[in-house]
């Protein structure tokens, strides 16, 4: 595994020149285009890595399955899915086109921006300080790493430029999908997106998800099985946005990407995988990361289908 990871990272590193770092959040534009790394945990707790697997980056949309998991634990399945659906959209992550046209006036799934913003409004806590601390504690526990925090400059960079998300949130409030102070909810969403972690952390979390919330390394149930399975299922169908279908065919692993370049993957009962590569394809997924996963999945027969 170790040699294979090294080989595929170096093989696909040149691809990073064909993508672009996200700069619609200006502070993300400082990322190094050529970084590419992968981290893998197997069920025996063995760890493998290659490339820039221990560089910190903001997890952006990779936070969405994690906050969904906390919301499911906090509020239960029924309440969560009264706010968002479970269907893939085939639309870009920041699309607003279906907000007014879908059936029950709720975002189609919890991973498009509108759905994720609706979900974070469910997180319990007396104010944003308590809520983000609860989210961070949860992520630290999943990753078994206390050294996970929010990148303040990236949070602020998105807060001052995030008007598209702001518009979605006002719309959601107007249709009664969310309650509370719009700017507070938006701040909390931008903070969850600005959580800094490494590919290694994502692999560790992926391992816990792959065992239905049980951590084979700590030998402990970290989150309930039912909720872990719900999140993994939505990763499989909606995790790569309008690339989810192609990713299912070519990689076949439940995954979730972020515009910071991260991808978390969970191979049921077998592996947790984290990828980092901030050079993105047109759909906002790591261009080198997706290729690396394609090769890895083929070599180790990881597709769940």
Task: Report 34-63 residues binding ligand DON (CB under 6 A).
Answer: 60-61
Local structure of 195: helix, strand or coil: strand
- Minimum distance from CB of 60 to ligand DON (Å)? 3
Binding ligand DON (rule: CB under 6 A), the pick from 16, 53, 109, 113 is: 113
Handedness of CA 237, 43, 284, 106 (dihedral sign): positive
Confirm or reject binding of residue 89 to ligand DON (CB under 6 A): no
Task: Report 130-149 residues binding ligand DON (CB under 6 A).
Answer: none
Confirm or reject binding of residue 75 to ligand DON (CB under 6 A): no
- Catalytic-residue membership of 189: yes
Confirm or reject binding of residue 121 to ligand DON (CB under 6 A): no
Q: Mark the segment that binds ligand DON (CB under 6 A) among 31-39, 177-185, 252-260, 289-297.
A: 252-260
Binding ligand DON (rule: CB under 6 A), the pick from 70, 139, 188, 193 is: 193
* H/E element, 38: strand 37-42
Q: What is the DSSP letter of 284?
A: S
Q: Which of 21, 259, 275, 292 is catalytic?
A: 259
- Interface mask (CB under 6 A) for ligand DON, residues 209-248, using x and -? ----------------------------------------
- End-to-end CA, the chain: 22
Q: How many whole angstroms from its chain centre is CA 137?
A: 17
Count of chain residues binding ligand DON (CB under 6 A): 12
Binding ligand DON (rule: CB under 6 A), the pick from 47, 48, 93, 214 is: 93
DSSP H helical ranges for the chain: 2-12, 63-75, 77-83, 113-120, 128-143, 152-161, 163-174, 182-193, 199-210, 225-238, 244-250, 287-299
Closest alpha carbon to 289 in 224, 214, 230, 239: 239
Which residues fall within 8 angstroms of residue 252, CB to CB, at 6 or more apart?
297, 302, 303, 304, 305
CA gap 275, 264 in Å, rounded: 7
- Catalytic-residue membership of 64: yes
Q: Which of 64, 83, 106, 131 is catalytic?
A: 64
- Catalytic-residue membership of 241: yes
Q: Which of 41, 189, 214, 271 is catalytic?
A: 189
Rg (CA), the chain: 18
Confirm or reject binding of residue 286 to ligand DON (CB under 6 A): no
**Are 182 and 134 within 8 A, CB to CB?**
no
- Catalytic-residue membership of 259: yes
* H/E element, 266: strand 262-267
Per DSSP, the chain holds a count of helices (H) and strands (E) of: 12, 10
Task: Report 143-182 residues binding ligand DON (CB under 6 A).
Answer: 158, 165
Binding ligand DON (rule: CB under 6 A), the pick from 110, 258, 277, 278 is: 258
Q: Mark the segment that binds ligand DON (CB under 6 A) among 47-55, 125-133, 143-151, 254-262.
A: 254-262
Question: Catalytic site residues?
Answer: 61, 64, 189, 241, 259
Binding stretches for ligand DON (CB under 6 A): 60-61, 93-94, 113, 158, 165, 193, 257-259, 284
């Amino acid at each position: 595994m170790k040699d294979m990871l090294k080989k595929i990272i170096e093989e696909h590193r040149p691809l990073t020149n064909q993508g672009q770092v996200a700069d619609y959040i200006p502070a993300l534009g400082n990322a190094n285009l050529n970084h590419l790394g992968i981290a893998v945990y197997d069920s025996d707790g063995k760890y493998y890595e290659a490339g820039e697997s221990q560089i910190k980056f903001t997890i952006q949309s990779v936070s969405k399955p994690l906050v969904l998991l906390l919301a499911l634990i906090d509020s239960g399945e029924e309440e969560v899915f009264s706010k968002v659906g479970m269907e893939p959209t085939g639309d870009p992550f920041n699309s607003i086109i279906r907000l007014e046209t879908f059936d029950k006036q709720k975002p189609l799934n919890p991973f498009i921006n509108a759905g994720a913003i609706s979900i974070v409004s469910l997180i319990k806590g007396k104010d944003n300080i308590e809520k983000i601390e609860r989210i961070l504690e949860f992520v630290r526990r999943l990753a078994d790493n206390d050294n996970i925090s929010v990148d303040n400059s990236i949070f602020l960079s998105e807060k001052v430029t995030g008007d598209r998300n702001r518009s979605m949130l006002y719309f959601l409030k107007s249709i009664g999908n969310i309650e509370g102070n719009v700017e507070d909810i938006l701040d909390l969403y931008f903070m969850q997106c600005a959580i800094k972690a490494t590919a290694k952390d994502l692999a560790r979390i992926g391992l816990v998800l792959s065992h239905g919330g049980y951590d084979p390394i700590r030998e402990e149930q970290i989150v309930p099985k039912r909720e872990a399975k719900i999140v993994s299922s939505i990763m499989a169908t909606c995790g790569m946005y309008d690339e989810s279908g192609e990713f299912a065919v070519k990689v076949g692993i439940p995954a979730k990407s972020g515009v910071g370049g991260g991808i978390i993957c969970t191979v049921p009962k077998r592996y947790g995988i984290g990828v980092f590569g901030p050079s993105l394809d047109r759909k906002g997924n790591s261009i080198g990361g997706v290729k690396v996963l394609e090769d890895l999945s083929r070599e180790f027969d990881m597709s769940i289908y």
